[in-house]
A and B are shown apart, each in its own frame.
Chain A
Amino acid sequence: MATQAPVTEGITQTAPRRLWLDVLHDWVTTVDHKKIGLMYIAYALIFLVIAGFEAVLMRIQLAIPNNHFVSPQAFNQLFTMHGTTMVFFVGMPILFGFGNYLVPLMIGARDMAFPRLNAFSFWISAFAGLLLYFSYLGGSGLYGAGSAPDVGWWAYAPLTLKAFSPGHSSDYWTISILLGGIGTIGTSINIVATAICMRCPGMTLGRMPLLVWLYTVMSSLVFVTISPLTAAQIMLLLDRYAGSHFFDTQAGGSAVLWMHFFWIFGHPEVYVLVLPAFAFANEIIPVFSRKAIFGYPAMVAASVGIGFISLSVWAHHMFTIGMTSGANTFFVLATMAISVPTGIKIFNWLATLWGGKIHFTASMMFAIGFLFQFLIAGLTGIMLSVAPFDWQLGGSYFVVAHFHYVLVGAILFMLFSAFYYWSPKMTGHMLSEKLGKWHFWLFLIGFHLTFDTMHVPGILGMARRIYTYEADRGWMGWNIIISIGAVFQTIATLIFVYNLVWSYFKGPVASADPWDAWTLEWSTQSPPPSYNFAADPVVRSRRPLWDLKHPDDPDWKYEA
C-alpha cells in the first residue's frame, strides 16, 4: 500500500474560482467528515476566544480586593458562562472536531458511519451554543433584568428554580445544554459505529490506532453520561413549568438529587475531555520519539479501565454534602483506584520516550508540557480524593487550580500539540515552528504563573465563585500574580491564532507525510481528497507506514 497517488490533484488545482455563495452552500450542506470536523474546530475556537475573554474579565475583577470593575451580577454570569462554554461549547466540540477528522482517516475509511447524522449533530450543537449566548439579550436572571445565566456551570437546585431564578436565563442554560447534548450523543454514537464497522481490511481491533481506541472509549462514556444530564434538564424544565417537584425543596423535592444527576455526568465528563488528550499524546509522543508506543495492550486496557472506574467516582464532588462515613469511604477508594490506570499511562509514555530520539518540535514541546502538568494535576487530584483534605480544599481556589491544571495544563496543551501536528494535514500548509515556540514558551510561563499560584489562595481559605474578597486575608498578592499570568496566556493565544491564519494563507505547503509518521492519515495527500483514499488501504500492523518504510523490519513480525 504505497502513499496514495493524488489522482485528482490536477483537477482540483485548475478548477475555476467559485462564487462565495457556492462555497457557503458547500459547507452548509456538507456531510464530509473532514469539513464537519473543521467546522467543529472553528466553532469551538470562536467560543474559546469568547470564554477566554470572560476569564480575563474575571481576573481583572479579582486582581485586587473590593474591586468594582464588574458588578456581582455580571461576575456571576461571567463564571457561569465561562464554565458552561468551556465544557460544552469548546471542550467537547473541539475534541469531536479532531475525532471527526481523524478517526475515519486513521482507520482507512472514506467517511463516518452516519454522515448525515454527523452533520445534524454539528448543526444542533452549533445552534445550542448560539442559543446560550442569545441569553445575554433574551434571558432574565436572579435579578429580573435581561441577561445571561448566573447559576454556576453545575447549576445546583434549588437556585435554578422559579423561586430563585425567575425570568428565562436558567431556561436558556437548560435548553442549550439539552440541545447540545443531543448533538453530542449523535456524534458519539457515530464515532463508536465508525470505529467498530468501518475499519479497512486487515485492521483488527488489536491493530487499531490508540487514538481511535480512546475516542471509542470516550464516545461510549458520552452516551452513558450525557443521558442522565439530559434527563435532569428535562426534570428541571418540568419543575420550572409543569409544577413537578423533583428539585423543588420548598415542596419536598431534593437538592441532592440534582447533584447526583449532575455529577454522574460531571465526573465522567472530565474523562470525556481528557481521553482525547491522551489519544493525541499516544500518537504524537511516539512519532517525535521515533519509537513505537510502549505497551499498546496495557494502554488500551488502562483506557477502558479508566472509562469504567470513572462511572463510580462521581460523589467525590459531594464529600461536603453530609454523606455517611461509609459512602464517603467508598468514593475515596473508587477515586483513588482511578489513579492506577492513569499512572500506567504516564509510565508507558515515559517508557516510549526512553531510548528514543526526541525531536523538540512545537508539537512535541506542548506534549511534554502536557506530561509534566498532567502529572501534577493527577497528584493534586489524589489530594482531593482524600475526603477530609477535600472538606478543606473543596469549593476553594485549590480545586479551581486543580481542574484548570487538567483542562488547561493537560487538555489544552495537548490540543495545541495536536494543532501543530495535524493542521498541515488539514489545511495543506505547515504552521510556523518559530511562532509555535513563542506560543509555547509564553503560554507555559502564563500557565504556571496563573495556575501554580492559584493553589495558594485556596489553601489560605479563599472560596471560589466570589466576585470580591476582604483585604485582610493575605490573598491579594497571589491574585495579582494569577492575573498577570492571564496576560501572558492571552498574548500567547493571539500568537497562535495569528499563526493559524498566517499558515492558511502563506504557510509552506505541507507534504503528505511531513513528520515521517506511521498511521494511515499520512498516506494520503494534505489535505485529503473528499474520498480520503483512492483505494482501500490494507494493513498488517498497528503502524502500516512503518511497515512500508521499513520492509526489512516490519512491525507485523513482532505483533502477536
Chain B
Amino acid sequence: MLTRQLWLGIAAQMPSVTGSGSTSIFAPAGTPAHSIFGLSMLVLGITGAIFLVVGGLLLYVLLRYRHRAGDANASQEPPQIYGSNQIELSWTVIPILIVVMLFLATARIILATQDAPKPASALDVTVIGHQFWWEFRYPKLGIVTANELHIPVSDPKHPTPTYLSMTSADTDHSFWIPRLAGKMDLIPNRVNTMWIDPESPGLYLGQCAQYCGTQHALMLLRVYADTPAQFQAWVTHQQQSAVEDSDVTAGRSVFQHTACISCHTVAGTVATGTFGPDLTHMASRDTIASGAVPLTPANLRAFVDNPAQFKPGALMPAMHLNDHDLDAVTAYLMTLK
C-alpha cells in the first residue's frame, strides 16, 4: 500500500538522485541498468494494477459485507455458495495470460543482456574477489590495481563496453554497481562474466552484495568512468613502475624489512606478495581499506598501525610498528603515486 506510493515518489525524483553518492537502481547510467529499469517499470505497472484491482475488491467486500448487528436478519446465516466453475476458470485464465506476457518481456531482456555479442573494441578486466577487497587485472594492458576500477565511458555510436571476467580467491562475493548493471557473483573455482558501459563520466558506487565474512559491509566498490583521454592517461600512469623517491628511503626500508612484502606487491621491488592489494600506485587512489576511508596520511598511518580501527575483521594484522617507523612507512606509501 504505502510501498507503492513510496516507489512512485522515488520514480518521480529520479533526475535529482543522480548525484555521485547515489546507488539507486532507478537512476540507470548504462545499457544493462537501463534495460532492467525499463522492464521493472513494466512489472511495477502490471503489479500495481493487480494490487489496485484485487486490493480494491477486498476493501469493497469488507465494507459491503460486514456483519451489522442492527439488521433484521442479523442472526440468520447468509446464503451458502460452494463455488462456480465458470468464475474460477476465468480467474485462472487471466493470470495465466498475464504470466505469459511478463515471461516474454523478461526473456527478451535476459537474452539481450546475457547473450549480447561482445564488440572488438571491448576492454577486458579480470575481477578477483578477496576477503574483503577487490583485485582488478587488465590482462592486455599489464595493469594490476585494487578496489577502484577505472574504465572508459562508452559512447553509444562507438561502444567501448568493459567485459568483466570474475572469480574469487576465497569465499563468494558479488559485484554490484546499481547504476550500471545488475549484480554478478564471484565464486571460487568458477568464472562468471558481465559487462558494463557507463554513458557519462563520473564515479559509480557499489559494494559487495554476497555475504563473504566478517567485513562484508566494508567491501566497498568504486568504478570511475573516465573520458577516453583521462582513461589513456590513467593507463599510461599505471603502466609505469613504482616511484622511487630518495626522500623516503627510511620508510621504504621499513616496508621492505617487515612482513608487508609477503602480502603486498610494489612492482620493481622485493615486495611481491599477492595476498593483499597491489600497492605499486596506491597513492593514486582516493581511498584505502576498500573504500572504507579516504586516503589521507593520517588515515593511512592509523590503518597501518591497526587496520581494525577502520575495519575490524580485515585480514591485515596490526603491524606493531613504533611511531618513527609508522611515520616513515606512511611517508613512503604516500609517494607511491
Instruction: Show the binding face of A for B, using Cβ within 8 Å.
Output: 71-73, 76, 142-143, 150, 152, 156, 158-159, 163-164, 249-250, 252-256, 289-292, 294-298, 320-322, 324-325, 328-329, 332-333, 336-337, 339-340, 343-344, 346-348, 350-351, 353-360, 368, 371-372, 375-376, 379-380, 382-383, 386-396, 448, 452-453, 455-456, 459-470, 472-474, 550, 553, 555, 558-559
Chain A residues with CB under 8 A of B335? none
Contact of A325 among B40, B99, B111, B190 (CB under 8 A): B111
Nearest CB on A from B158, distance (A): 26
Contact of B54 among A358, A375, A468 (CB under 8 A): A375
Chain B residues with CB under 8 A of A396? 209
Q: Given contacts A289-B65, A298-B88, A382-B43, is CB(A463)–CB(B172) below 8 Å? A: no
Counting chain B residues whose Cβ lies within 8 A of the other chain, the interface size class is 35 or more
Q: Is the CB of B110 within 8 A of A298?
A: no
Nearest CB on A from B182, distance (A): 2
Does B284 touch A at the CB level, under 8 Å? Answer: no
Q: Is the CB of A379 within 8 A of B47?
A: yes
Q: How far is the CA of A506 from the CA of B50 in the complex (A)?
A: 46
Question: Residue on A with the closest CB to B207?
Answer: A463
Q: Is the CB of A322 within 8 A of B110?
A: no
Nearest CB on A from B94, distance (A): 9
Chain B residues with CB under 8 A of A328? 110, 114
Question: Residue on B with the closest CB to A150?
Answer: B214
Q: Is the CB of A459 within 8 A of B188?
A: no
**Per-position binary interface string of chain B over residues 19-46, scored 1 when its CB falls under 8 Å from any chain A CB and 0 otherwise:** 0011111100000010110011001101
Q: How far is the CA of A332 from the CA of B188 in the complex (A)?
A: 26
Chain B residues with CB under 8 A of A391? 36, 181-184
Chain A residues with CB under 8 A of B47? 379-380, 382-383
Does B245 touch A at the CB level, under 8 Å? Answer: no
Chain B residues with CB under 8 A of A336? 99, 102-103
Q: How far is the CA of A560 from the CA of B185 in the complex (A)?
A: 54
Q: Given contacts A391-B181, A452-B6, A455-B7, is CB(A291)–CB(B81) below 8 Å? A: yes
Q: Is the CB of B62 within 8 A of A358?
A: yes
Q: Is the CB of A294 within 8 A of B83?
A: yes
**Per-position binary interface string of chain B over residues 72-100, scored 1 when its CB falls under 8 Å from any chain A CB and 0 otherwise:** 00100111111110011001100110010
Q: Is the CB of A76 within 8 A of B182?
A: no
- The list of the 3 closest CB pairs from A to B, nearest first, reads A391-B182, A461-B23, A322-B192
Contact of B192 among A321, A359, A553, A559 (CB under 8 A): A321
Chain B residues with CB under 8 A of A344? 88, 91-92, 95
Q: Is the CB of B22 within 8 A of A353?
A: no
Question: Residue on A with the closest CB to B54?
Answer: A375
Contact of A470 among B25, B51, B220 (CB under 8 A): B220
Q: Is the CB of B51 within 8 A of A379?
A: yes
Chain A residues with CB under 8 A of B258? none
Q: Is the CB of A388 within 8 A of B92?
A: no
Nearest CB on B from A372, distance (A): 7
Q: How far is the CA of A461 from the CA of B102 in the complex (A)?
A: 24
